[in-house]
Amino acid sequence: MPWGSETRETLDALRRMARPTEVPYRGYLIRPTPKQQRDSLEWTLEIHIARDRAGERREQLVNARAPTFKTFEEAIAGGVRFGQDIIDGKVPGCSVVEL
């Protein structure tokens, strides 16, 4: 596809991806950055969980291949929920204690 012939959907998706949103939750910041699978075009979760302590920001990256989501927006919402579950200690093997 030549430069300049992007579809409206592609441009909208690029705009959304360029503005990752951080959601505050219990002293942490959750920033979902979903990734689209090439084969199925569904979205997987990638979540950054951050915390500021004494002026230093520490961040942890969590990836999850399942579940997948049909839309970018669903993946963002799912990422926030997943980040909240990690912070609440509901996800075995994932902890934010080190932050």
All domains in the chain, ordered by first residue:
21-87 (3.30.160.350)
Residue 10 confidence (pLDDT): 65
Q: Provide the β-strand partners of residue 17.
A: none
Of 1, 92, 86, nearest in space to 51 by CA: 86
Residue 65 confidence (pLDDT): 77
Give the span between the Cα atoms of 42 and 68, in whole angstroms: 6
Residue 42 confidence (pLDDT): 93
Helices (H) and strands (E) in the chain, counts: 2, 5
Q: How confident is the chain (99 residues) per 10-residue block, as mean pLDDT? A: 57 60 92 91 93 92 88 90 95 91
Pairing of β 35-36 and β 56-69: unpaired
- The model's pTM: 0.77
Residue 64 confidence (pLDDT): 83
Q: Can the peptide bond before residue 67 be classed as cis, meaning omega within 30 degrees of 0?
A: yes
Q: What is the CA radius of gyration of the chain?
A: 15
Give the span between the Cα atoms of 38 and 11, in whole angstroms: 18
